[in-house]
Amino acid sequence: MTDKNELLAGASEVSVDSEYFSPIPVGYKKGKTKYVIVTGTVMSGLGKGIFSSCLAKLMQDKGLKVSPIKLEGYLNIDSGTLNPFRHGEVFVLDDGMECDMDLGTYERMLDQNLSKDNFATSGQIYRDVLEKERHGDYLGRDVQMIPHVTGEVKLRLRNLAIKTNADIVFVEIGGTVGDLENAFYIEAMRELAYEEGPNSCCFVALTYILEPKTLGEQKSKAAQLGIKQLMQCGVQPDIIACRAANPVGEKSRQKISVYSNVPLNRVISLHDSTSVYQIPAMLRECGMDFEVLRHLHIEDRINLRSERGEWAKWCDFTDKIGKEKQTVTIGITGKYTSLRDSYASIINALEHSGIALGCDVKINWFDTTDVTDKNAGDILKDVDGIIVPGGFGVRGTEGKIACVKYARTNNMPFLGICLGFQMAVIEFARNVCGLKDANSTEINDKTPYPVIDILPEQKKVNAMGGNMRLGGQDVEIKPDTIAYKMFKSKSVRMRFRHRYEVCPDYIEQIEKAGLIFSGKAPSQPIMQILELQGHPYFIATQAHPCLTSRPMRPQQMFLGLVEAAMKK
């Protein structure tokens, strides 16, 4: 009789008679990697990614190797086709994976680059299961949600554990408990805890405490019912984090504690904070880091000397928050301004720069659909600098061009990002080079001067469906330029997400008129950074520099914009 461990170890090759189907990758050592699993109740948007990344940072500071993964319930293979109005910004990893904005939260908080292994969707999971079924990997077994789909989820986590040599894998499950689309993820985590054994997994339930103004007190019933749903799935939470506008009172915490079998000291208040970068201190003060260590039995792995040094650096950074000596206002002139999450990385990059420069950066939002040459001056008169961010499609593009023109002709500090770079080229071509009606073929395929177009080599790729420039690319920096002084290097790596480029036929004419292309793709006529000499600050890039900004290492282009705005 084959025992359970042997069946688990060779699950992908064993006969169909066993019910212990849980594929274990070669080299996986049970007990080496622990798992912290974060779920949400009551409603989405509570900040599961922020909580998870902050807790992961505390573990990282102790010398532990951490690796996060976001499990999304939607059937899309990635986030690339999602409208920002529906799901916030699309965050692009260095390897080109288009993913959820929570991956940006992890990268910023942990100061590490993630990969496609740190992001999974239901679409990816189902695709992989069906491919294996077609290859005959299930040996004639009828393929089911349990054990095959849940087994694929567990396989993802264990592969990540091996690849990253993680002490702790932080698993964030998108949506809320009770959603049909993420039910199999929660079941997979229940199975994982069963298979890995006691003290292998720490379940965290993020919930919400209501505080109706008409009642004047906090109400925990919705939170209790949400946690009950999680327990009905066979998952007993080990920690409950209570989101609320104000500190959660002991009375509410006691109710939740009794209702959920979670000790009171593990039911914590996670109330609103001035900055997300202050949340690690909030968790540390209530002892969440050591509660997790004790629960997972890994206290012996920590390095307290490392923690003291890392925490001192972090405190030096957070101590600057709220002590700014100057205030500037940056206008973000975009197409998705009614949903702030559409520009989450830009907001964070501005905050990083402001903290570094001792400046409180305020943001004014402008929908470029309403901006014209005639009213741009009135609309932008109260800001100290503007950002023209990325986007796709025709709507609002003429308004973006009007904003660029106002910034160029009125010495307004300006940063163009992706589509903002393209609009800057179009504006310069029209109003300086005299190419009236110059445009992008994305906006007007009949334009007489297609200064922005799909490059010939990209058109060839189109038949294979892959003409998007995605992920990290090296940028060659021209000496004696603002960009060179900024980066202090002949080469810099930046992340891209676009399809249209500056048409090579117009580069010489545009540069002769005074616009400098200070960054380009190595060995290719692909322009990636532009600037204007003699202007207080006029720079744009095809890249998304906000994606690589870090709390203690602000991205140089944003730093330059805020600095120029301060001088203005």
- Classify strands 359-367 and 385-388 as parallel, antiparallel or unpaired: unpaired
Q: Does 349 lie in the same domain as 421?
A: yes
Domain boundary among 298, 316, 334: 316
Residue 252: how many CB atoms within 10 A of its CB? 23
Question: Tokens 């567990």, residue?
Answer: 154
Spatial separation of the C-alpha atoms in residues 66 and 47, rounded to whole Å = 19
pLDDT at 464: 39
Number of domains composing the chain: 2
Residues near 380 by beta carbon (within 8 Å), at least 6 away in sequence: 331, 333, 366, 386, 403, 406, 407, 412
As a whole number, mean pLDDT of residues 64-81 equals 94
Residue 118: how many CB atoms within 10 A of its CB? 24
As a whole number, mean pLDDT of residues 163-181 equals 95
Spatial separation of the C-alpha atoms in residues 503 and 452, rounded to whole Å = 5
Q: Does 424 lie in the same domain as 292?
A: no
- Strands of the 439-440 sheet, one edge to the other: 439-440, 450-453, 501-502
Of 346, 451, 324, 331, which is closest to residue 402 (Cα–Cα)? Answer: 331
DSSP-derived secondary structure for 356-371:
HHTEEEEEEEEEGGG-
Instruction: Report which of residues 183 and 10 the model is more confident about.
Output: 183
Domain boundary among 316, 349, 365: 316
CA distances 104 to 24, 107, 238, 442, Å, are 29, 5, 26, 28
Instruction: Report which of residues 322 and 158 the model is more confident about.
Output: 158
pLDDT at 98: 95
Residue 8 clears pLDDT 50, i.e. is over it: no
- Contact 99/90 with Cβ under 8 angstroms? yes
Residue 2: how many CB atoms within 10 A of its CB? 12
Q: Does 460 lie in the same domain as 346?
A: yes
Indicate which CATH number applies to the domain containing 498: 3.40.50.880
Q: Does 363 lie in the same domain as 272?
A: no
Indicate which CATH number applies to the domain containing 188: 3.40.50.300
Residue 394 clears pLDDT 90, i.e. is over it: no
Residue 4 clears pLDDT 50, i.e. is over it: no
Domain that holds residue 491: 326-567
Cis omega (within 30 of 0) for bond into 147: yes
Of 346, 514, 528, which is closest to residue 429 (Cα–Cα)? Answer: 514
pLDDT at 480: 94
Question: Tokens 């169909």, residue?
Answer: 16
Q: Does 282 lie in the same domain as 153?
A: yes
Instruction: Report which of residues 86 and 329 the model is more confident about.
Output: 329
Q: Does 366 lie in the same domain as 304?
A: no
Give the Cα-Cα-Cα angle 427, 433, 439 (nearest 5 degrees).
40
Spatial separation of the C-alpha atoms in residues 106 and 404, rounded to whole Å = 33
Average pLDDT, the chain: 92
Q: Does 455 lie in the same domain as 509?
A: yes
Q: Does 358 lie in the same domain as 301?
A: no
Domain boundary among 316, 343, 365: 316
As a whole number, mean pLDDT of residues 381-393 equals 92
pLDDT digits (tens, 9 = 90+) for 316-335: 999 999 888 899 999 999 88
Can you point out the beta strands (E) in 162-208? 168-173, 201-208
pLDDT digits (tens, 9 = 90+) for 96-121: 999 999 999 999 999 999 999 999 99
Instruction: Report which of residues 455 and 462 the model is more confident about.
Output: 455
Amino acid identity for residue 354 in this structure: G
Residue 213 clears pLDDT 90, i.e. is over it: no
pLDDT at 466: 54
- Classify strands 501-502 and 515-520 as parallel, antiparallel or unpaired: unpaired
pLDDT digits (tens, 9 = 90+) for 39-54: 999 988 889 999 999 9
In a domain, 321, yes or no: no
Q: Does 188 lie in the same domain as 119?
A: yes
pLDDT digits (tens, 9 = 90+) for 494-520: 999 998 999 999 999 999 999 999 999
In three-state secondary structure terms, 62 is coil
Residue 176 clears pLDDT 80, i.e. is over it: yes
In a domain, 528, yes or no: yes
In a domain, 123, yes or no: yes
As a whole number, mean pLDDT of residues 309-316 equals 96
Q: Does 283 lie in the same domain as 373?
A: no
Q: Does 335 lie in the same domain as 291?
A: no
Instruction: Report which of residues 152 and 463 the model is more confident about.
Output: 152
- Residue length of the chain: 568
Of 32, 36, 4, which is closest to residue 18 (Cα–Cα)? Answer: 4
pLDDT at 6: 40
- Contact 308/364 with Cβ under 8 angstroms? no
Residue 64 clears pLDDT 60, i.e. is over it: yes
Q: Rank 361-365, 370-374, 465-469 by mean pLDDT and report only the highest.
A: 361-365
Q: Does 547 lie in the same domain as 497?
A: yes
Spatial separation of the C-alpha atoms in residues 238 and 202, rounded to whole Å = 6
Phi, psi of 19 (to 5 degrees): -95, -5
In a domain, 157, yes or no: yes
pLDDT digits (tens, 9 = 90+) for 395-404: 889 999 999 9
- Compute the half-sphere exposure of residue 10: CA atoms within 13 Å on the CB side of its CA: 9
Residue 462 clears pLDDT 50, i.e. is over it: no
Instruction: Report which of residues 481 and 274 the model is more confident about.
Output: 481
pLDDT at 514: 95
Residue 236 clears pLDDT 50, i.e. is over it: yes
In a domain, 415, yes or no: yes
Q: What letter does residue 542 receive in the DSSP assignment?
A: S
% of residues, the chain, pLDDT over 70: 95
As a whole number, mean pLDDT of residues 531-551 equals 97
Confidence of residue 463 (pLDDT cuts 50, 70, 90): very low
Residue 296 clears pLDDT 60, i.e. is over it: yes
pLDDT at 322: 87
Q: Quick one: which H or E segment has residue 545?
A: none
